Amino acid sequence: MTEREKELILKASPCEVNYFDRNLLTFRQALEKGRELCLNYSACESGGIPCALTCGWEVAQHIVNGSNLKKELNDFSYVPFINNEFWKSVNRRDFERIRGKPDVLSAVEHSARIILREDAFDSSLERCAKCDGVKILEIVYDTIRDGLFPCSGGGKTRRRDVYYCPKCEPKPAGGIIEEDDFGDAFFRKLSKPL
Ligand SMILES: [Zn+2]
């Protein structure tokens, strides 16, 4: 659990307080310091581009309310604006625009970790062994062939969650599983004489 007071994380936006200051721990301290407006504030307000810092703040708020980073990042990967351009900053001074699920998820996680005062270089995201990029989750549906005859069946599907690296691996696709309601062995026994 974070060393930062829950009240601070629930009430203070990263646009108005500087979570990169590791000495900032409580809501009271933030009130005493006064508003420290983000340097990107005016560009951000007028541009309509989501900011990874504020998205990371939302993630951090769910976490102090009992959720975990892995689940929240997974949920975040389904927001409708995930493929938009985002503002990213690792110091709240210099901002760059990024785009693409892996980079955006990585930036949102970094920001959530800064706000939670956790190790910002650690990661709960699945990483590619080859390029160290963020793997993304793809939901794949396999078709189950559960009929007695080859290529027959009720068209049932089974869902699988597959993490893959969009840079190094092809997008996973569903396949066909041969199976019947009585189990594999029974199916083989019955189908052979046919
Ligand atoms: Zn990779």
Residue by residue, DSSP assigns 41-91 as: HHHHHHH---BHHHHHHHHHHHHHTT--HHHHHHHHTTSTTTTSEEEE-SS
Q: Ligand 1 centroid vs 180 CA: distance in angstroms?
A: 37
Q: Ligand 1 centroid vs 114 CA: distance in angstroms?
A: 25
In a domain, 127, yes or no: no
In a domain, 125, yes or no: no
Task: Provide the number of structural domains found in the chain.
Answer: 2
Q: Tell me the pTM.
A: 0.78
Of the pLDDT bands very low, low, confident and very high (cuts 50, 70, 90), residue 6 is very high
Q: Measured between alpha carbons, how far is 50 from 48 in angstroms, rounded to an integer?
A: 6
In a domain, 108, yes or no: yes
In a domain, 131, yes or no: no
- Please name every residue paired with 163 in a beta bridge, in sequence order, or none if there are none: 137
Looking at 51, 82, 116, the residue that finishes a domain is 116
In a domain, 149, yes or no: yes
Question: Does the pLDDT value for residue 79 go beyond 60?
Answer: yes
In a domain, 123, yes or no: no
Tell whether 63 and 24 lie within a shared domain: yes
The DSSP H or E segment spanning 185 is helix 184-191
In a domain, 40, yes or no: yes
Q: Ligand 1 centroid vs 171 CA: distance in angstroms?
A: 12
Structural domain that includes position 107 = 6-116
Tell whether 15 and 104 lie within a shared domain: yes
In a domain, 66, yes or no: yes
Backbone angles phi and psi of 159, in degrees to 5? -90, 135
Can you tell me the mean pLDDT for 17-30?
Answer: 96
Can you tell me the mean pLDDT for 128-155?
Answer: 80
Tell whether 153 and 110 lie within a shared domain: no
Looking at 85, 116, 147, the residue that finishes a domain is 116
Q: Give the whole-number percent of the chain exceeding pLDDT 90.
A: 62
Tell whether 100 and 183 lie within a shared domain: no
Tell whether 72 and 160 lie within a shared domain: no
Q: Measured between alpha carbons, how far is 61 from 56 in angstroms, rounded to an integer?
A: 9
Q: Ligand 1 centroid vs 100 CA: distance in angstroms?
A: 14
Q: Ligand 1 centroid vs 9 CA: distance in angstroms?
A: 33
Q: Measured between alpha carbons, how far is 57 from 13 in angstroms, rounded to an integer?
A: 7
pLDDT on residue 185: 47
Tell whether 97 and 167 lie within a shared domain: no
Tell whether 102 and 33 lie within a shared domain: yes
